Structures are given as C-alpha cells and as structure tokens.
Amino acid sequence: MKIIATHWKGLLSLLFGVLVALFWALGARELINYQEQYQMFLFTPDYFWQRFTTPGGLVDWIAEFLTQFNYHYVAGSVILGLLFMLMQILTARLCARHGLADRWYALTFVPAILLLAYMGNADVMPSFLIALIVLEGLMLGWDKVQGLKRGTRAVILTIALIFAYDFFGAVSLSFGLYVIVYEWTRKDEYTPTKTIFSASVVFLIALMIYEVVQNTPYPLYRILGGLNYFRYPTAIPKMQIVLMILIPLWPLLGNGLSNASSKQSFRTKLVGLTTWVVVVLGGAAWVHVSFDTLANKLIEYDFLVRTQSWDKLINKGLKAAATGEEMTPLEVSCINLALSQKGELCDRLFEFYQNGGQGLFPNFTRDMLSPVSTAELFYSIGMVNDCERFMFEAQQAIPNFRRSGRLSRRIIECEVINGHYVVARKLLHELQHTLFYKAWAKQMLATLDSPKREEIINSNPVYGQLRRWQVTKDFLFSDREMDQMLGLLYTHDHTNRNAYEYLMAYELLQIDMPRFMQYYALGQYAGYTDHIPYAIQQGLLYDWTRRHNSFQGMPYSIDPQWQQAMGRFIEIYMRDKHDPALSQPPLGTTFWSYALVKEQQQQKKEKSQPIY
C-alpha cells in the first residue's frame, strides 16, 4: 500500500500504457498491420538521406523504423503502448510544472486519449504521434531553461526554432505557440521582455516558413500542417490542427487549477472523482466510436485475407447473415474467397449475404486497399497476371508515395511464376534491405541463382500449381465477362476446381441460367465424387422447374432433401410470394430465395423509375 501511495501516478501511467497496448493487440491489430503494409523501411543510407532532407524527415524516419515492427502485431502494440505512456508522462510533468493539483491528474490523460481516438483514422501516420512526443519534450526543455539568463534563453530558442522544423516538422509551430503563451502567463517577467520574446518567435517562424517555401515544392498549407503526419497530402484533418493547438496549451490548465490544491472539502473530492469518471468512460466511448468505422471494417477483412484466417472470415459472414446486415462487395468477396479456400464455395454460397457478381469480383477501384484482396483472389485461382496488375495499381495508389513490403513480395512471386527473373531479382535486392522480408528475399534469390531453378519452382506446391493453372495464350481481360475468363482458366487445366466453382457461383449470382446450364457440363472433369455442390444442385432444380411441372425425368444427381425443399418453396411461393418463410432459414439460405429477392428488388426499381 505504501508503494501505491507513493508511486500512484507512475502506476497509473504504466496501467494506461498496458491498456493501450492491449487495445491495439486485441482490438485493432488490423490497423497495426495496415500501417506496416503501406511502407517498406530500408536500412540504406540513401533511404535515410531521402527522409532526412525532407522537412520533418527525422521524425518520419524514426516513425517508419518503429512501424516496421508492426509486422509482428504484438511488438507493434507494445511499442505503441510505450509511446502513448511516454506522451502521458510528459503531459503530466508539464502540467505539474504549471501547478496542476493532484486531484486533476485525470486531465493529464486527455491529450493521449484524444490522439488515440484520432488514430482510429488509419491514415493518421505514426510520425504524428512521434512529433507530438517531441513537441512535449521541447516544451519541457523550455520550462527547464527558465532559470537561465535572458540572452542564453534567446540563443537556445533561436537554435531550437531553426532546427525544429527541419527535424520534426510543423510541430515546431506549436512549440512557438507554447513559448509565446508561456511567456505572457509568467508573472515574474517584464512586459517588454515578453514582447521581445514573442516578436522573436513570430519573426523566426516567419523566416523559417519563407525559407521552406523558397526551397521546397510543397504548398503553404502542407508546410503549416505537416508533410508526413497524414497519409493523404491533399488533406489536413481538423483534428490534427486541434491537437497541434491543444497540446501546447493544455499544460497551462495548471495555472487555473492549482489554487484549489490546498482545499480538501467533500465537494472538491467529488469533482475530482467525477473528472476521473468522465475521462475514463468518455475517453473509452470516444475511442470505440472512432475505431468502429466502415473503413476499418474493410481494413480488417483485408487483414484476415492476408493472414489466411478463413474461419474468422466465415464466422463474420454468418454473423452478418444472421443479423441481416448488408455488406459491401469487398467484404462479400473476402468471405467468398474464404469459402473457396475451405472448399465450400458452391456448397454454402447462399448461407451468406450476396450482392451479385461484384460479391465475387468487386469492381476495380483505383485506391490502395480494395484491389489488394481482389488480387489475392486472382492469385488463388491462377490469374497471376491480373493479380500482379492489381497489386501494382494498389502500390502506385499509395497517396504518400511509399512502397509496400507485402505488395512487393506478391509482385515478385508473380514475376517468378511468369519466369521474369531479371525483374524479380531487381525487386528482391530491394527487399534484402528490409528487416522482416530479408530472409524470404535471400531464399528466393538463392532459388533463382540455383542451376535447378526451374525444377525447384515447378515443384513448389504454390508456384508450380499456379504455373500449371495459368492460361498461356494471350487474351483481353474484361471484368464484365468474368465467366469467360474463368471458363478459359478451367478449360486450360481441369484440376483448377477453384476456377470452376467461381464460374458456377458467378452465373448463379448473376442469375444467368442459360450460361449456367452451358457451363455445368464442364463439372464432369472437376472430380466430384460424393455429391454435386449444393448451390449447383439448387440452380439445376431452379432451371428444371421453370420448364417442367414435376421432377420426373430430371437427369441430374439431386439429393432428395433439395427436391423436398424445392417442393416446399414452390408451395409457399404459390400461396404467398411475400411469406417470411421464403427469406428465413432453411429456405432463405438457398439460390431460390436469392433469385426471388433479386426479382422483387428489380420490380421495386422499375416501379420507382420516372415516367418521363
């Protein structure tokens, strides 16, 4: 108890750091992965110099060095926990130097909590966190030189402002704000001295900005807002500006909340306790809301694809289907990929929410996220060139012009499968300078340099199979004719069952029964031994009953359970096509229910069209 009473502040800071680390590791590991995925830190002098010569580049280089450890999310979570704990400790020390009473200690956590909530936007760069920590370090350093002579302080201030922007970026402007406000809130300083210090800060900052504008190609708004604090160079979020203003002003709360430090009334104790409750509960709610966004959900789906967490993806799809939640094509395509990898795509297709052919192959979007999961899908079915094209487009779409270790590795694998070894070697030499892709790059280079190179690659269970599956004849890719692309894949190699099941699923989701029946015959080469996939059986029954009044003479191997289910569906449909039983399990998880819903949606769309 004595240790707790003596070191309670330090213990609270440690607890905060642990909770933040656990939050990242257990609740936001996909964002940990996302930050690592869209950078490729190189241990080369050129890479360091490229960052260092950019305003604020030192902070950027440090942040990227730390972010590479996100490759192992536990290490990345621990690092973030330590950084947030350091930020809170610096805030507490700054507030204490301004006389903040202990009962208001909860307020020292507010800036760190606000930043944590802000980082719910995955495009907030870790360099902003590092820059704010550096800012608080500069503020604390300025506090500690107040006992020096005015001239000495002026020299220190000049040096700090001159070098701060080059090394740390736009937070140096926040440091200048802190110096001005701090000087004017001092009671032991003469007004002329305050005026001189304030004017000096404004002059030095203006001179620094002018120099940067003259010698760099960056627009003024980026110079003032920071070059590498946000991934998109065309935007500076309002919350970033708020934090850059709030943090230099926050410690000054102590000037107003220190007078009550000697009062120990019940009322002041109650106010202090209420402050803790508001900070903890309000902060937790704000962080939850900030991270619970559609963008982060899409990032999570891509993360599950990268880690091949197929069961988790399927469980997420089942949960969404049970709650009636509508999903984006990207989410649906990831779940369908998981079903395909588990060999269950055409058995369980309609147990999940489906939104047409886009739920298998989402439309191409020129951004850095959506093409990645689609590229992994192409890779899994043998469309190697399309996988490489989508990965390349995703890498080129990274807004801050970084490279990606994950995307580069997949591009290299595609080049190796295609036999383009010169290009593969060039990219592998670059990956050799990374930390976590280095071992794989060396192993791949050894393979390419081996006299038995072709034998090794062809015997690889992944590369060899994809080489056999890949279509060797030239053809034009068309995302509007994916069934023809899949047909080419499957007829090229009948062992590619993935391509056949995607082909049949595509026709079912498009409700294109003529083509479905046309391609169905190719299934004789797919090697089904115990049963025809259930979704295909449902499609066959659907097509048969559209042209016949009974199941007699049906030439397909249909399980009796599906014949009985189709009979019940028709009976209920003839009685009331809006009966809830048609959209609820077990009948609601069939192709027939999906086709009925599509028909009803089309009718509503036609009725809502204007007459002229």
Determine the average pLDDT of the residues in 487-507. 93
pLDDT band at 185 (very low <50, low <70, confident <90, very high): confident
Q: Which residues contact 16 (CB under 8 A, 6 or more apart)?
A: 84, 85, 88, 109, 112
Sequence-ordered strand ranges (E) for 226-290: none
Is 55's pLDDT higher than 90?
no
Q: Which residues contact 165 (CB under 8 A, 6 or more apart)?
A: 55, 56, 172, 173, 208, 212
Is 612's pLDDT higher than 80?
no
pLDDT band at 261 (very low <50, low <70, confident <90, very high): very low
- Which of the pair, 598 or 453, is modelled with greater confidence? 453
Residue 476: half-sphere exposure toward Cβ, Cα within 13 Å: 3
pLDDT band at 188 (very low <50, low <70, confident <90, very high): low
Determine the average pLDDT of the residues in 524-545. 90
CA distance 86 to 400: 27
Q: Which residues contact 284 (CB under 8 A, 6 or more apart)?
A: none
Contact 376, 536 (CB under 8 A): no
pLDDT in tens, 82-92: 999 999 999 99
- Which of the pair, 299 or 476, is modelled with greater confidence? 299
Is 266's pLDDT higher than 90?
no
pLDDT of residue 97: 87
Least confident of 68-77, 468-477, 497-506: 468-477
Residue written as token pair 């909530």: 117
Q: Using a pLDDT cut of 90, give the percent of the chain over it.
A: 59
CA distance 449 to 370: 35
Of 305-309, 528-532, 582-586, which has the strongest mean pLDDT? 305-309
Determine the average pLDDT of the residues in 349-367. 90
pLDDT band at 537 (very low <50, low <70, confident <90, very high): very high
Q: Which residues of 172-189 are buried (b: 16+ CB within 10 A; e: fewer)?
A: bbbbbbbbbebbeeeeee
Determine the average pLDDT of the residues in 341-367. 91
pLDDT of residue 246: 93
Q: Give the closest residue to 514 by CA, choosing from 483, 468, 559, 488.
A: 483
Determine the average pLDDT of the residues in 231-237. 89
Q: How many CB atoms lie within 10 A of CB 7?
A: 12
Is 271's pLDDT higher than 80?
no
Determine the average pLDDT of the residues in 326-341. 94
Is 603's pLDDT higher than 80?
no
Strand partners, 230: 124
pLDDT band at 611 (very low <50, low <70, confident <90, very high): low
Is 606's pLDDT higher than 70?
no
Is 190's pLDDT higher than 70?
no
pLDDT of residue 602: 67
Chain mean pLDDT for the chain: 89
Contact 590, 565 (CB under 8 A): yes
Q: Give the closest residue to 403 by CA, choosing from 152, 64, 3.
A: 64
Q: Give the closest residue to 376 by CA, choosing from 462, 503, 485.
A: 462
pLDDT of residue 2: 65
ω into 237 cis (within 30 of 0) = no
Least confident of 25-39, 302-316, 449-463, 576-590: 576-590
- Torsion over CA: 535, 540, 546, 550 (sign): negative
Least confident of 97-101, 276-280, 409-413, 464-468: 97-101
pLDDT of residue 8: 85
